[in-house]
Structure 1
Amino acid sequence: MALPKQSDTWVVDSFNGFDSLQLQKGVDIPNLGDFDCLIQVQAVSLNYRDLIIPKGMYPFPLTLPRVPCSDGAGIVLATGPRVTQFRRGDRVCTLFNQTHQSNPITESAFKSGLGGVLDGTLRKYAVLPEYGLVTSPTNLNPLEASTLTCAPLTAWNALYGLMPLKAGDTVLTQGTGGVSLAAIQFAVAAGATVIATTSSESKADKLKKMGAHHVINYKTTPNWGELAKSYSPGKRGVDHVVEVGGPGTMAQSLQAVRKEGVITIIGFLGGTGGKGENEPSILDPLVQVCTVRGILVGSRQQMEDMVRAIEVNNIRPVVDEKVFGFEQAKEAYQFQWEQKHFGKVVIKVED
């Protein structure tokens, strides 16, 4: 079978909101390098990062024009002559930071993000280096596998990157975004107690069905940090906090965490701060005697560990029931921006 020479490709060309997304037909596919793989992209999932890039709100390295999105799953169609890890027909997922092979992250790896500094996955075919790919879990379909690149890997790094999660630990998650849902799944599989926050009773029911032991409505219980702490063994505080809200929720996370516990900051859904009098100061982690760490997704080594855990525990990522077609990318962006989803929003690329 002849290999494709061109690809339909979405491109972000400005910071004019979702109108910055342009579909380009028949873009030439570059030649394979010695260590490259030609991938037929089957599915792409969206992250909050993807939504704020065309809005000019992304605070990390970025250049335009750029093929958007970091997350993707597909099939290897061809390999360069010196590729050793993959062959034609292999099912693969993309690695977020292409050169982040193991920890700690380096400055160059920090600047190798798909959909930011490097062209991403929202296209029908892509040429990517073998070191920027990971074998897909055998128990997942392409829609599910397409979600692993960013959110689940970030959750895995949060729970295992510094103080590895163990049975009997307590984990606090926030909301129903991709990272939080993945953290719940990983924590339940590890035998940990999960305390989750959300804004509605309908979402609370879904979190309980996923295995969350305690669910707190943060709208009706604004001081949810103390309540979360009370749910921990001996009311000592939780071991791991997966902090997605940023400055707006950090004060409550600090109330919930135990002495020598870990708060991992992975996002800023509540804004970047600087306006609230009640925002915690830099000295609050000292007062609480805890570790606050920021992470940027995770390494290839961590992703391989995560894939093995997904297979062993038959973990299935939560995908929103509404799946979009390739030419509906703008609609998918808007759907997630309006927070109509539960789980990952996925764009099915293949016909």
Structure 2
Amino acid sequence: MKAMVVGTPRGLDRLRIEDRPDPGHPGPGEIRVAVHGSSLNFHDYGVVSGIMPCGDGRIPLADGGGVVEAVGEGVHEFAVGDAVVSCFFPAWQAGPPIIGDFSGTPGDGIDGFAQEYVVRPATAFTRAPKGYDAVEAATITTAGLTAWRALVVDGQLKAGDTVLLLGTGGVSIWALQIAKAMGARVAITSSSDEKLERARALGADFTLNYRSEANWGRAIRDWTGGIGVDHVVEVGGPGTLAESIEAVRVGGHISLIGVLTGVGGEVPTAALMGRQARLQGLIVGSRADQQAFVAALEATGIRPVVDRRFGLEQLADAFRYEESGSHFGKIGVEW
């Protein structure tokens, strides 16, 4: 079967197509899935570019959407023909977090979904949302579930809350759609006025170009009448955290889900204490969280925003597009 693999030394130019052995028939508790689509995340870019360690010949991509071709003995949750989508942490089935690394994450610690077929435990997948194609389904595995957990599972979002989102990448656009569907008011930042216009079309209540407003935390606070927002989905890390703390209300919630500006830096601890805010780091979510997210998507009718789609052979070009920062929402890969 056809698979895309990571070379050594790593880099986008080192991605290559290989013929790999067909995974065969599923054993007890397993399913065979024909994979038809994926979506890109910064984590995937880190693996293929060399920012994050992985072994030579690793098959990348954490997200995978496809169709069940066969089920092993003892599998009753899925049947042949079912549309399914992968889980980021296959071993984390439910409950509080139990995993703090990527040793079991597809496309990192184990082979990912840039391949035609996989045989995995049935518990490594959930049902895909009804009506979603493979690429759309794959967008929920990492980005969608991260936004869902940040706002709903951990943030306990409710109608009337205010939310601040940074940028217009996959997590932020998913968070915008989730928040609006649940009756929240949303502010979003970007360096692109064109992207801010698109965010307004999706329901954003307040938009801000941070290139023209350096003190954007204060501007967001002013938008709330001086109170501050209830929730911040913080994707930047050390370079943006101070402004996010400025923007959050006393007793509010900041979900640290990304480190786009660096993996370490100064934290304004006095300001955080003064806000009495909860700063929570999180990485995606459990299988049970994903199942609840799928149910919510079917109930609300939300569809993901997929900016562009590439073929598997164009995976390097897809990552270059991600690298450019030109995308709005998710970047899809299909085959």
Q: Tell me which of 156, 162, 167 is aligned to 1:164.
A: 156
Contact 2:25/2:70 (8 A) holds in 1: no
How far did residue 110 of structure 1 move? 5.5
* 1:287, distance to aligned residue in structure 2 (A): 2.6
Measured after TM superposition, the shift of residue 222 of structure 1 is 1.0
The answer for the alignment partner of 1:251 in structure 2 is 242
Three-state SS of the structure 1 residue aligned to 2:2 is: strand
The structure 2 residue matched to 1:194, chosen from 186, 191, 196, is 186
Pick the aligned partner of 1:128 from 103, 120, 127: 120
Aligned residue runs from structure 1 range 220-299, under 5 A: 220-232=212-224, 234-274=225-265, 279-299=266-286
The one-letter code sitting in structure 2 at the alignment partner of 1:48 is F
Q: 1:129 deviation in Å?
A: 1.0
Task: Find the counterpart in structure 2 of residue 307 from structure 1.
Answer: 294
Aligned pairs (5 A) from 1:1-351:
7-58=1-52, 62-107=54-99, 111-232=103-224, 234-274=225-265, 279-320=266-307, 322-349=308-335
The CA distance in 2 between the partners of 1:30 and 1:22, in whole Å, is 23
Structure 2 letter corresponding to 1:267: G
Rounded to whole Å, the distance in 1 between the matches of 2:100 and 2:319 is: 29
Single out whichever of 76-85 and 18-27 deviates more from structure 2.
18-27
Change (3 A) 1:304 1:251: same
- Once the two structures are superposed, residues 41-70 of structure 1 have per-residue CA deviations (whole angstroms, 9 ceiling, x without a partner) of 111111011111122223xx8544321011
Deviations 1:297-347 (A, max 9, x none): 011111111111111111010001x31112111111111111232221111
Deviations 1:253-288 (A, max 9, x none): 0000111111001111122244xxxx4344542232
Question: Residues of 2 paired with 1:151 and 1:15: CA distance?
Answer: 28
1: CA distance, partners of 2:103 / 2:97? 10
Taking structure 1 as the reference length, the TM-score comes to 0.91
Number of equivalenced pairs: 335
> Deviation at 1:165?
0.3
Amino acid at match of 1:16: R
| AA partner of residue 256 (structure 1) | A
Question: What stretches of structure 2 of length at least 5 have no aligned partner?
Answer: none
- Output the CA distance in 2 between the equivalents of 1:148 and 1:107: 19
Contact 1:204 1:215 in 2 (8 A): yes
Shift of residue 210, structure 1, vs aligned partner: 0.5
Structure-2 separation of matches of 1:27 and 1:19: 24
Under a length normalisation based on structure 2, what TM-score does the superposition of the two structures give? 0.95
Paired residue secondary structure (1:220)? coil
Q: What is the CA distance between 1:236 and its match in structure 2?
A: 1.1
Instruction: Report if aligned partners of 2:40, 2:332 keep a CA contact under 8 Å in 1.
Output: yes
- DSSP 3-state at the match of 2:183: coil
SS of equivalent to 2:330 = coil
Residues 16-25 or 305-314, more deviating: 16-25
Query: Shift of residue 15 of structure 1?
Result: 4.5
Once residues 111 and 228 of structure 2 are traced to their aligned partners in structure 1, the CA distance between those partners, rounded to angstroms, is 42
Please say which of residues 104-113 and 124-133 is displaced more in the overlay.
Answer: 104-113
Distance (whole Å) between structure 1 residues aligned to residue 91 and residue 185 of structure 2: 34
| Alignment RMSD (CA, Å) | 1.6
Verify the 8 A CA contact 1:198 1:216 in the aligned structure 2: yes
Q: Is the 8 A contact 2:174 2:329 kept in 1?
A: no
- SS of the counterpart of 1:84? coil
| Structure 1 gaps, min length 5 | 1-6
1:19 CA drift (Å): 2.5
Structure 2 partner of 1:3: none
Q: What's the CA shift for 1:220?
A: 0.3
Residue type of the alignment partner of 1:242: V
- What SS class does the counterpart of residue 49 from structure 1 fall into? helix
